[in-house]
Amino acid sequence: MASWHPFIEGEPVETEHVIRLCGERLDSGKVLDAEEKQCYIDFFVRHAPETMVWKPMSTGWGASPFNPNNWRTLDGDPVRAEGTPIDGLEPETVGTSE
């Protein structure tokens, strides 16, 4: 099955594009835990650099564009909000489903 997104591992992507596609996916009704996934989009809006690099960790949630752990800065660093434990999200907002 083909993925719902066009991201290629190691390729830079404008964060605006990630936000738009994830928002469209939410609007499609095909996302589990949509309210939780909106928290990740909000994280990208607030904390992500202008451009991110797609680096999926595995399959499922480990390959979801909603998962901040699958994105890196252009320097290869994780996308994180300063001083926060899990990629800028409070622990109660972190989930495990696509």
* Structural domain includes residue 46: yes
pTM for this predicted structure: 0.79
Write the DSSP assignment of the chain as a string of letters: ---SS---TT-EEEHHHHHHHHHHHHHTT--TTHHHHHHHHHHHHHH--SEEEE---SSGGGG-TT-GGGEE-TTS-B---TT-SBTTB-GGG-----
pLDDT at site 45: 94
pLDDT digits (tens, 9 = 90+) for 14-50: 999 999 999 999 999 999 899 999 999 999 999 999 9
pLDDT digits (tens, 9 = 90+) for 1-17: 468 999 999 999 999 99
* Structural domain includes residue 96: no
* Structural domain includes residue 59: yes
* Structural domain includes residue 86: no
* Structural domain includes residue 20: yes
* Structural domain includes residue 95: no
Residue 26 belongs to what domain range? 12-77
* Structural domain includes residue 19: yes
* Structural domain includes residue 61: yes
Question: How many folded domains does the chain comprise?
Answer: 1
